[in-house]
Structure 1
Amino acid sequence: MTASVGPSVHGLGIDAESPAPATPRQPQAVDSKDQDKGRIIVGIDFGTTHSAIAWAHTATPDEYEVITQWPGQSGKDWGKVPSDISYNTGGRSPTPSAGSTDPETANPSPRNSGTLSPDSGPTVFKWGFEVPATDPQKLSWVKILLDPSQPRPTFVQPKKTTLPKGKTPVAIVTDYLSALRAYTLLMLERRLGAEVLGDTEVEYVLTVPAVWSDKARATTLEAAIAAGLGGKDNAGGLHLITEPEGAAEYALRSLRPNTLKEGDCFTVCDAGGGTVDLITYTISSLQPLQLQEVAVGTGALCGAVYLDRRFEDFVADKIGKDQFEAMDHRAKFQMKQYWETYMKREFSQKLPHEEEEDFSVPVMGIPDSEDGRVRGGFLRVSHAEVKEIFEPIVNQVLELLGAQVLQVLKAAQKPVGAILLVGGFGSSEYLYKRILTWSAGSIPVLQPRNAWTAVVRGAIIRGLQGDTVAARLSRRYYGVVHDARFDPQKHQEDEKCWHQLRCEWVVRNRVQWYIRRGDVTTSSRTLSFLFYRTIPAAEIIGDAHSLKTELWVCDEENAPDKRDPTVRKLCVMTSEPVPVHRFVKMRNERGEIFYRVDYSLDMTVTGGAVVYEMSMEKKGKKGMREKVGRVEVTYE
């Protein structure tokens, strides 16, 4: 089966067509009699190290709530829950309630109940705060396994992401999301009552990293659907948006009036646990809020966990690697807690006249050192040493910002008017001041309130108010690999080969790009790529035939027109069987019968996902097209 692009002697060819919400208050019970048409919006920020949930009822949209109490949690409220899970390999359970969502309650609503992903692996598990820090079966960083195209951090210990027998990354993420969903429904029942919950449609808005591949987003969607967050036939029940889009939705509405005006550009720097994502928008309208991307988003693996690793390496170097490895779990937990809750958050760039204070890191069980560095179970760490821990990671963030600002100047011919710093790492005082120093006062750096949970708060706003991003820029090239007719003006003589079916000289492995990096896409407009396929008669069995189309991508700044290692296959799209009578029967110069099929690949780019469909011209109705049933997308 040969995909063809460009004109040919037989007429076989391709046509390429190419106001701000109030401060969150405790949601009040809703009268079920008045809310038959209301909806509950649940935002889920599934993060590399921590996850967050927020919800709101459309009847009281300003009164949204971020969940701060979690199973297994002790002490103060916490805006996020660890993205950790631990399986009990000795038992099995068929329902999400077995995931220890709450020991007091079974499934809160049979209408919304689901089952864990069916596989041969263990299904009894603990999640979040329920997983002890010393649990040898604790799985962390599972999210990064959803996108193999992203480089895995070298410091991630294999045991942290070693999957139990019979479990896949999708299955584990499904289990974790199932637990989040079950606990959310439990909290909704407590806030609103079982009657309102049972009678109200629940919609989910799930965030994904902006740097993720299309395959990773599709895999996330698969896990979310399996977890009960939506279904293939319930497209309105589940939405994906990128994390920086969610952050932008919240951050803009949390700023003081007149901070930004129509026409201004601003860059969102979402510095989280694993990744730092940057994206720049221009404000096309304030009432209602409408944004447009003005530069291709960028990102890298330089989040807060890289600071954590550098801190641990520093401690190990100062007390000795053998002694560090010999520290018991409780001592390491205390050490990490001090770093996480105090040292990392409070560390800041000092002014020349300010005194630089030392930090005392608990290292219980470590004997006093001869140089006085360790005394009474505490390791003395200077301000300068902490700065050395931060600097390599912060410099990566500054490099990303510099490249983004230059890209905006080139693409939009205007400067960035502000940098919105959000995310857990974005709450860092040191990162904030370093960006201020880097910008030399030329670009305001704004840290919205609740920066750690800005993404999930923005997800709620998106679910309540709809898509505010009117135009996005493609992050990569999309196209097809094809056999092009040989042209002596463009091709080398030794490249040509004879096409048996088309009876002409062609050059193979040429790429027709339909979407280029930086092209504008909108969720309200479907991009249709018209092309055709020639099918030998011998391949047609029966009275219907499925159409298969390979989609190829390239992430380079300038993509080649000939397939090379930078051009990779993204997916294969397979349609439902199409009646053969809709194909055009043809005969070549040698009398061989084949079929020509004209159809289009229809692509819609939303905030966090790409939707693919196929359509054909209605028989006898020129210019009118209809979808070719379902399209199954198989990613490479």
Structure 2
Amino acid sequence: MQFTMATTETVLHEHRIVVGLDYGTTFSGCAFGNTAQKSIDNIKVIRRWPGKERRDEAKCPSDIAYNAGTYRWGYLIPPGQPRLTWAKLDLDEDNFYENQDHSRHDEYVDVQSDPFAESETSSSSSESSTDEFPLAEGMRHNPMNKSPVDVVSDYLTALYDVIMSNLRREQGENFINKTAIDWVMTVPAVWSEKAQALTKEAASRAGIGQREKDRLFILSEPEAAAVYAISELYQRDISRRNDPNTLKVGDTFVLCDAGGGTVDLISYRVGQLQPSLGISEVAVGSGAKCGSTFIDRNMLKLLRHKLGEERFKILCEKNNGMVLNRLMSEFEGVKRSFGSSYVPGSANYLPMHGFANDPAAGIIEGQFELTHEDLKLCFDPIVDQIVDLIQGQVDAVCDTGASVKYIFLVGGFGESDYLLHRLTEFKWAKAGQIEILNPYDAWSAVSRGAVLRGLEGSLVTNRRCRRNYGTRINTVFDPTIHHEEDAFYSTDTGMKMARNQVSWIVEKGADTDSNTRFQLKCGTTFQKGEKLRRGATLVASDLDVAPHSYRDRSVHDLCFLMADLSMVKEDQFDEVNINGQACLSAEFVIEMAFESAEIKFQLYFKDNCYGQVKTTFH
């Protein structure tokens, strides 16, 4: 059930600053602008980071290092010091090691196609992939055993302080103190709803959006990147309107946001160019955890394969992980430059002090030799997966009868020359060769796009729901649909019923524009004198066609919704007679509104709104 309401977009007349915050798996960045100058050219990227001598870096490492109750972060962490990396992915820890629908990877590439797989006689053959990285203590160092939200909150607290310091330096302390700030924080589109909520909680605990009049919004990373990429292209086209290759109404493009931890795909069609730019989603977005972090993991697996179990364990533990950290820090530069040029027979050398020479294992004079073929073994399984993801999105667009004009490649990993080369050379099945556009400063596209979204409002007129949402119900038994194990007879009507069924409220692929509300209708009876509070569990499934049964493996509990009508006067409810006893009856509605990276729930009773519904994610 659904109906249309007026848009909830708020028109603000007061002057505000908009900050786009891109907290990433490996690096984090920030951009800002203000409502007095909404042009894309007036958006500025923060490039001053504590501990960084060169002041021209668009992002700061997302690492944090705990020691004796204190912590360092980003560039302030000395080379080699044990640290906690990839903390962002821990927010989605329930799904972190799960095989994604679009993924061939868990923690690493599949064993069947894994070039580093151990033989059956290997001492590590009985270990699961999730057992391999606890050895790398220097990279996953959490001596205080902090929760993911605590860790991310600590990092964001330090990041918030630096952002505010940069704003005060740029705009003046008095101006910043009296001017409201809208914070637009981005999250991966593949994030679970729980992970989205945890991200927002960590940001709030860090002080983000907590000053008087400040506000905090959540936006999906690919939508932010698309807003920047298409706006940048649109502005560039203004000066060459007679060019047949310029953007036109009806043009369709695929955006690939390749980051450190996740890769998100989304497709848009240009709906209008005047009086302002408007785009709409063409197909259901896709994505997986296959960002550049997984190249690092394949590098660690390469090390383990070449060094052997015993030496790899020593490497992970040597000097509290400092040797491994130095090696991986050097690998970051090698990874970024891979693909820019190739000299046959060339190799890179990474520091690995304290190990005896063993050329067969790649150890030469205290260095680890990393050949071009070694790098391809680290890159190719991840790049192949990204190609598959893009192909799936291109096919989905073609299935609608549209054609893809461009593929935009953005994100930190989107600046990889090797990835760009592979995509440029690829023939996209139904679509053939497609022009790949890599916008200027693609690394900061997400934070810049988040600022644009905050300044201009949403350019996206409608989105496609990424999964099915519903609730458990009992229903009349149908032998063609239901299983006997779910059958029972109603004590009230005597009818044969089926338990453990699902009523789907929103189907995957449904339009979820800002004017649409989806309804979860609820009814209950209760005793006179009782304060009315009732809960319902929202369930979800990622399948294209939602199953009938709650027992289906794809169906999972998403969150518990608590509707509180305790403030409603008793005479507003209907009286009913149940087994000779006078009781009260209420029918109420929980409305679901889908935003870029959040679901908002509102409680309605007799056409009156009673505020947001308390939500507890499973």
Tell me if TM exceeds 0.5.
yes
| Counterpart pick for 1:303 among 266, 271, 291 | 291
**Partner residue, 1:570:** 558
Give 1:160-179 correspondences, 5 Å limit. Answer: 160-161=139-140, 163=142, 165=144, 167-179=146-158
Between the aligned partners of 1:80 and 1:182, the Cα distance in structure 2 is 15
Give 1:159-238 correspondences, 5 Å limit. Answer: 159=137, 160-161=139-140, 163=142, 165=144, 167-230=146-209, 237-238=215-216
Relative distance call for 1:488 and 1:447 in structure 2 (3 A) is closer
Amino acid at match of 1:498: Y
Deviates more, 1:179-188 or 1:327-336: 327-336
Instruction: Deviation per CA, 1:73-123: give whole Å up to 9, x if none.
Output: 234532111112233444xxxxxxxxxxxxxxxxxxxxxxxxxxxxxxxxx
C-alpha displacement of 1:191: 0.9
**Partner residue, 2:242:** none
| Counterpart pick for 1:417 among 405, 414, 421 | 405
Relative distance call for 1:629 and 1:363 in structure 2 (3 A) is closer
Between the aligned partners of 1:43 and 1:276, the Cα distance in structure 2 is 19
Matched, 1:548 2:527: no
| Counterpart pick for 1:385 among 361, 370, 374 | 374
Amino acid at match of 2:522: Y
**Partner residue, 1:339:** 331
Contact 2:524 2:587 (C-alpha < 8 Å) held by counterparts: no
**Partner residue, 2:523:** 533
| SS of residue paired to 2:20 | strand
Give 1:92-491 correspondences, 5 Å limit. Answer: 124-136=70-82, 138-152=83-97, 153=107, 154=130, 156-157=133-134, 159=137, 160-161=139-140, 163=142, 165=144, 167-230=146-209, 237-255=215-233, 256-257=236-237, 258-287=245-274, 288-318=276-306, 322-323=310-311, 325-326=314-315, 332-341=324-333, 343-348=334-339, 355-365=343-353, 366-369=355-358, 375-410=364-399, 412-439=400-427, 442-486=433-477
C-alpha displacement of 1:239: 1.1
Relative distance call for 1:85 and 1:486 in structure 2 (3 A) is same
Amino acid at match of 2:569: P
Deviates more, 1:276-285 or 1:565-574: 565-574
Amino acid at match of 2:72: K
C-alpha displacement of 1:579: 3.4
**Partner residue, 1:518:** 509
Give 1:4-153 correspondences, 5 Å limit. Answer: 37-61=14-38, 62-75=41-54, 77-90=56-69, 124-136=70-82, 138-152=83-97, 153=107
Between the aligned partners of 1:585 and 1:36, the Cα distance in structure 2 is 48
| SS of residue paired to 1:149 | helix
Amino acid at match of 1:485: V
Amino acid at match of 2:15: G
Contact 2:337 2:417 (C-alpha < 8 Å) held by counterparts: yes
C-alpha displacement of 1:344: 1.8
Relative distance call for 1:283 and 1:591 in structure 2 (3 A) is same
| SS of residue paired to 2:603 | strand
Relative distance call for 1:502 and 1:349 in structure 2 (3 A) is farther
Contact 2:352 2:368 (C-alpha < 8 Å) held by counterparts: no
Deviates more, 1:518-527 or 1:159-168: 159-168
RMSD between aligned alpha carbons? 2.9
Relative distance call for 1:320 and 1:594 in structure 2 (3 A) is same
Matched, 1:633 2:615: yes
Deviates more, 1:546-555 or 1:357-366: 357-366
| SS of residue paired to 1:475 | coil
C-alpha displacement of 1:286: 2.4
Relative distance call for 1:629 and 1:462 in structure 2 (3 A) is closer
C-alpha displacement of 1:494: 7.1
TM-score if structure 2 supplies the norm length? 0.82
Amino acid at match of 2:77: V
Contact 1:358 1:380 (C-alpha < 8 Å) held by counterparts: no
TM-score if structure 1 supplies the norm length? 0.80
| SS of residue paired to 1:139 | coil
Relative distance call for 1:428 and 1:168 in structure 2 (3 A) is same
**Partner residue, 2:124:** none
Between the aligned partners of 1:520 and 1:232, the Cα distance in structure 2 is 35
Relative distance call for 1:357 and 1:74 in structure 2 (3 A) is farther
C-alpha displacement of 1:371: 6.2
Relative distance call for 1:296 and 1:149 in structure 2 (3 A) is farther
Instruction: Deviation per CA, 1:14-61: give whole Å up to 9, x if none.
Output: x7769xxxxxxxxxxxxxxxx993211111101111111111122233
Instruction: Deviation per CA, 1:415-465: give whole Å up to 9, x if none.
Output: 222111111111111111111222266211111111111111111111111
Contact 2:278 2:461 (C-alpha < 8 Å) held by counterparts: yes
Relative distance call for 1:76 and 1:377 in structure 2 (3 A) is farther
**Partner residue, 1:621:** none
Deviates more, 1:465-474 or 1:257-266: 257-266
Aligned length: 554
**Partner residue, 1:587:** 577
C-alpha displacement of 1:275: 0.9
C-alpha displacement of 1:479: 1.0
Between the aligned partners of 1:176 and 1:380, the Cα distance in structure 2 is 34
Q: Structure 2, unaligned stretches of length 5 or more?
A: 5-11, 98-106, 108-129, 238-244
C-alpha displacement of 1:362: 3.0
**Partner residue, 2:589:** 600
| SS of residue paired to 1:241 | strand
Relative distance call for 1:427 and 1:482 in structure 2 (3 A) is same
Structure 1 outlier segments of 4+, above 6 Å = 15-18
**Partner residue, 1:29:** none
| SS of residue paired to 1:520 | coil
Between the aligned partners of 2:402 and 2:616, the Cα distance in structure 1 is 41
Instruction: Deviation per CA, 1:465-512: give whole Å up to 9, x if none.
Output: 111111011111111111223457865777542333566543222211
Relative distance call for 1:171 and 1:248 in structure 2 (3 A) is same
C-alpha displacement of 1:222: 1.7
| SS of residue paired to 1:296 | coil
C-alpha displacement of 1:334: 4.7
Instruction: Deviation per CA, 1:161-214: give whole Å up to 9, x if none.
Output: 565557432222222212211111111111111111111111100000000111
Between the aligned partners of 1:416 and 1:215, the Cα distance in structure 2 is 33
Amino acid at match of 2:86: W
Amino acid at match of 2:90: L
Contact 2:90 2:96 (C-alpha < 8 Å) held by counterparts: no
| SS of residue paired to 1:544 | coil
Between the aligned partners of 1:198 and 1:150, the Cα distance in structure 2 is 40
Amino acid at match of 1:149: D
| SS of residue paired to 2:300 | helix
| SS of residue paired to 2:78 | coil
Relative distance call for 1:306 and 1:547 in structure 2 (3 A) is same
| SS of residue paired to 1:473 | coil
